[in-house]
Structure 1
Amino acid sequence: MFAKHYSHRLPAHYDMGLIRRRASELGPRWDDTPGLLFKAFIARERGVFGALANQYASVYLWSEPAAAGAFLMDERFQTVIDSFGRPEIEAWLALDVQWGDAAEARALYREHVQVEPEADRAALLAAQIEQSQVIRGREDTVAVLLALDTANWRLVRITLSSALPDRNRAREAYEVLYLARPGAEVLGHE
């Protein structure tokens, strides 16, 4: 599996209603995407849920890395470039994915754990998977993804929650505008 994230910082007075409409219009087009497990259309709105700036972003989990690459090279990604410019894309190796019992995602949290050079990497991974299992057990958890950012030697945890965003829960909290999950059944969740 392969995960990626990119974001676009928007001007302070940007009409975030445009972003919400964009997500509601484009989101359903992703519901049948081959090789995609999920795509979260996410945003932060300045002054809402503790956000300091306006931001529009996407997080993807692909079962097939070739499908992720094809997307970046086709007309669907050209739409992103035409609207917001070509973003820097963070690419991660997915290590663990778990689905919770909640259905509708309203918030996405992103956390990092640095992998220090002297760390027992296997023990660190086991501990972080155990932490993901704890998160999965929460009643508001839709899904939790643990991935390795190989460029920066850190573990990245993405948690999708049915509760409204709470900045106190994680340093990075986003509002989920749309969650496409065409491959959820591959992971045993529909």
Structure 2
Amino acid sequence: MYAMQYRITLPADYDMNVIRHRVETKGPLLDDFPGLGLKAYAISERGVDGATVNAYAPFYLWAAPDAMHRFLWGPGFQGLVQDFGRPVVEHWPGLALARGRAAAAVPRAATRHTETVPAGADPAGAVEGAVQELRRRADADGVHSTAVAIDPRGWELVHFTLWEHAAPRAEPGDRYQVLHLSAPGLDALPEGRQW
């Protein structure tokens, strides 16, 4: 499993209905994309749920890197580049995935929380702790699914969770609205540890 996200920050006065329309018309195009576990069409809207900026920030889980490459070098992503410029695409090896009690619901919110593994910490222990945290988070009310990935270059853990409704106020990290979920291969992604 591979996780991926790009975040396009938009002007403070940007009409977010442009993004809503884009997702409404183009989102279903990935509903059957081979190798895609899920794509959460996430946005933050300035002044909504604590967001300080407008942003389009979709998050992906891929079954394998070849599917991710087909998307990045294909017409869908090239259209985004033409419309918004080339964003930085963050991508990470996936560590674990868990489905929550609300897995049958359509998620309407997401959170992304990152944490750096301290320089003196055992990375294997930090990863095991993140996997345990994933299991705890999956049991929380309203969780659709949750994943954890790692950037071994900077030793940063990335926790991404989809929520049936708004995330609890105590949930750390960036908060997003989810406008659409393409999940053609979510059921095929193995739950639990990815090694």
Normalised by the length of structure 1, the TM-score is 0.94
Distance 2:35 2:75 in 1: 17
Distance 2:53 2:157 in 1: 25
Distance 2:110 2:94 in 1: 17
Q: CA deviation at 1:106?
A: 1.1
Counterpart in 2 of 1:123? 125
User: Deviations 1:35-87 (Å, cap 9, x if unpaired)?
Assistant: 01000111011111111111111111100101101211111111110111000
Q: CA RMSD in A?
A: 1.5
Give the AA of the match of 1:116.
P
Matched, 1:158 2:160: yes
User: Deviations 1:88-125 (Å, cap 9, x if unpaired)?
Assistant: 11110001011112121111111112112321222211
Counterpart in 1 of 2:19? 19
Distance 1:152 1:26 in 2: 34
Identical amino acids, percent of aligned pairs: 38
Counterpart in 2 of 1:186? 188
**What SS does the aligned partner of 2:97 have?**
strand
Runs (5+) with no aligned partner, structure 1: none
Counterpart in 2 of 1:93? 93
Counterpart in 1 of 2:55? 55
Aligned residues between the structures: 189
Runs (5+) with no aligned partner, structure 2: none
Give the AA of the match of 2:175.
A
**What SS does the aligned partner of 1:27 have?**
helix
User: Deviations 1:170-190 (Å, cap 9, x if unpaired)?
Assistant: 23111111111101221379x
Q: CA deviation at 1:156?
A: 0.5
Contact 1:49 / 1:165 at 8 angstroms: preserved in 2?
no
Q: How does 1:131-146 map to 2 (within 5 A)?
A: 131-146=133-148
Normalised by the length of structure 2, the TM-score is 0.92
